[in-house]
Chain A
Amino acid sequence: MARIELQNITKAYGSVEVMRDIDLTIEDGEFLVLVGPSGCGKSTLLRMIAGLEPITGGEFLINGERMNEVPPRDRDMAMVFQSYALYPHMDVARNMGFSLEIRKSGSEERDRKVGEAAKTLGLTALTKRLPKALSGGQRQRVAMGRAIVRDPSAFLFDEPLSNLDAALRVEMRLEIARMHQRLAATMIYVTHDQVEALTLADRIVVLNAGKIQQVGTPLDLYESPANKFVAQFIGSPTMNILSVEQNSNGIQLKDGTVLQMAGTPDKDSVSELGVRPEHLNIVSPEKAHLSGVAELVEHLGSDTNIHAKVPGVGQVLVRQHGHYPLKAGEPVDIALDLDKTHLFDQKGRRLAA
């Protein structure tokens, strides 16, 4: 069991600082997901936690003890690599039992633990195979098995599902969720897939350019993003961002429309308004805030995505539930759900409504 604390962690490669001011506490048994765009430092952070990458500055604590300089083998963490990193010259059983072999546990105990893990993961029939004779999904399971067998105090995952096809990914996602429920171990999971993040996480950490943007539950991030980056990163399709300014009447869009919003911030720092596609509705012209033309209509079955061009405002994406009978080129009138909009200042910070 592990409570992991990062205090003021920084990371530099030579003179290039890639991470700074990382403050984070991961509670015992928590499922924490790190998300962010490519190159933001997710893997680097995970590798620092694992001990594979030296920490440049700050304190790294496990259960209150400073562990900055402790080598990976003494951190009691298991890691599942994106590449799986199975040992090619060992069969499945030995791959899974390797950590126990190194720790000199008895072969009886090893066989039992490997057998149990293989059974849970449906690998029993494959234990004598070499990794090269396995499919991608099976390799992924072996990599998970190798982590489970150790019964570590924390699991680290670096994009473990990104090499799998869509169906298998959903299946393995459930498998990981089940695994977390069963083992109740601390898990830190890196992904750039926000569906994985939103479905698995107790809490999500959004990273950008080596800095934490926001930490919160999936719902927190969806409903009250700390800034424009988080607002646009979480949620699919992406949130619409419209340029606005504040005047005595209220919030004014670039085409002159004034939105009457309750509790508008009194500072005149408002610069942009964000509204999610699902919080826009197609309405009759007299109730509309925005009027434009549908440029592209995507029928997804469960939803319809309407890409509309609104003169003076720009591109707006509207998401309607179910099948919405509209063709490209037809006029659309759109109303905003004013309670669910977000206002951002010039620096992209969200202004509390």
Chain B
Amino acid sequence: MRNFGKQSTVAVAGKYLALGFYVAFALFPLYWLAKIAVTPDKLIFTDGTALVPSSFTFENFRTVLLHTDFLAYFRNSLVVSLGTAAITTCIAAAAGYAFSRFDFRGKRLIIAAMLITQMFPLLMIIAPIYKIVAAVGLLNSLTSLIIVYTAFNIPFATFLMQSFFDGIPKDLEEAGMIDGCTRFQALRKIILPLTLPGLAATLGFIFTAAWSELLFALMLINSNDTMTFPVGLLTFVSKFSVDWGQMMAAGVLALVPSCLFFIFIQRYLVQGLTSGAVKG
């Protein structure tokens, strides 16, 4: 046992070293983002690649919040991302449950069709989508973005939800139905609580995907009122002749909702709720 303990100290140290290296690697761009955001404009180029800026300022944040349309972009993005995440997750949960639990005619066909939609590069369908959206008069509206994002994300979200439902033994809802539940009650009282981690994961995934989507937002939106955040960021390039400091400050602010969102759902993500359901 003692021998084992010694060996594992080295192993643990190695593991943390590897993890630390990975985290540093992954977070460095974010650090750089934050660094530029707090560096006074006149120092950006003189400081160069120094790891720590020689002086700090929150001027960039103040300007972004008070003197640009940032807050409007932010609100638009929030509406689009939350809307997309909520609608997609609801539809995907229902579809995933059906795929996981029922056998029906055309099931394989629908699954195949959904897989095929995932094979095309998005660029290919930008023009048709633009035409459709224009034809129904939804250009420059957040609704159009929500609809388009939802459509794109449903297949993946459905497969994700299906795999979560597949992970819940069928016995559980059958036991529920024998105990007196209707199928819907069994779904609500037994399956749903166990799927919360899956729902949270799906919500988080779709939210971030929608939050950072640029291509369609750029195509379908060109009025300043309905710009989402990624499109809005580009205005820093044109309007202020690449104002790095403000752009980075806006970027830092844009990270906030994603972070909050994941802090909120992470306890569901790590909950191994299904353990102990069946024999073990």
* A residues lining the B interface (CB < 8 Å): 50-52, 71-73, 77-79, 81-89, 98-99, 102-103, 130-134, 136, 139, 146, 150, 163
Contacts and interface: CB of A to CB of B under 8 A. Distances in A.
A99 B180 contact: yes
Contact of B185 (A84, A86, A102): A102
B14 to A, nearest CB: 31
Contact of B278 (A50, A83, A130): A83
30 contacts: A51-B177, A52-B174, A52-B177, A71-B177, A71-B182, A73-B177, A73-B181, A73-B182, A78-B179, A79-B174, A83-B171, A85-B174, A85-B277, A85-B278, A87-B172, A87-B175, A87-B176, A87-B190, A87-B277, A88-B273, A89-B273, A98-B176, A102-B179, A102-B189, A132-B275, A136-B279, A139-B276, A139-B279, A146-B179, A163-B279
Nearest to A88: B277
Interface in B158-175: 169, 171-172, 174-175
Contacts of A87: 172, 175-176, 190, 277
A50 B179 CA distance: 11
Interface of B: 169, 171-172, 174-182, 185, 189-190, 193-194, 273-280
Nearest to A130: B276
User: Among B179, B275, B280, which residue has the most Cβ atoms of chain A within 10 A?
Assistant: B179
Contacts of A88: 172, 194, 273-277
A84 B279 CA distance: 7
A131 B277 contact: yes
Nearest to B272: A132
A72 B177 contact: yes
A89 B190 CA distance: 8
A84 B278 contact: yes
A143 to B, nearest CB: 9
A89 B279 CA distance: 15
A212 B121 CA distance: 58
B181 A131 contact: no
Contacts of B174: 52, 72, 79, 81, 85
B106 to A, nearest CB: 15
A132 B276 contact: yes
Nearest to A136: B279
A86 B277 contact: yes
Given A78-B178, A81-B174, A132-B275, 18 more contacts: A51-B177, A52-B174, A52-B178, A71-B182, A73-B180, A73-B182, A81-B171, A82-B279, A83-B279, A84-B278, A85-B175, A85-B277, A89-B193, A89-B194, A102-B189, A131-B277, A133-B276, A136-B279
A87 B185 CA distance: 14
Given A83-B278, A85-B278, A86-B277, A102 B181 contact: yes
Contacts of B178: 50-52, 72-73, 77-79
Given A73-B178, A87-B176, A136 B171 contact: no
B38 to A, nearest CB: 45
A107 B188 CA distance: 21
B175 A132 contact: no
A132 B178 CA distance: 22
Nearest to A97: B179
A150 B175 CA distance: 13
A73 B280 CA distance: 28
Nearest to B180: A102
A80 to B, nearest CB: 9
A136 B276 CA distance: 10
A163 B189 CA distance: 27
Nearest to A98: B179
Q: Which 8 A-B pairs have the closest CB atoms?
A: A132-B276, A85-B171, A83-B278, A99-B179, A85-B175, A102-B180, A88-B277, A131-B276
Contacts of A139: 276, 279
Nearest to A164: B279
A85 to B, nearest CB: 4
Nearest to A86: B277
Contacts of A77: 178
A128 to B, nearest CB: 14
B216 to A, nearest CB: 39
A163 B190 CA distance: 23
Nearest to B274: A88
A193 B127 CA distance: 67
A79 B175 contact: yes
From A52, A72, A85, A131, name the one whose CB has the most chain B CB atoms within 10 angstroms. A85
Contacts of A79: 174-175, 178
A87 B275 CA distance: 10
Contacts of B193: 89
A87 B35 CA distance: 50
Contacts of B190: 87
A44 to B, nearest CB: 13
Nearest to A79: B178
A82 B171 CA distance: 9
A79 B179 CA distance: 9
Nearest to B177: A72
A84 B277 CA distance: 8
Nearest to A52: B174
A78 B179 CA distance: 7
A127 to B, nearest CB: 16
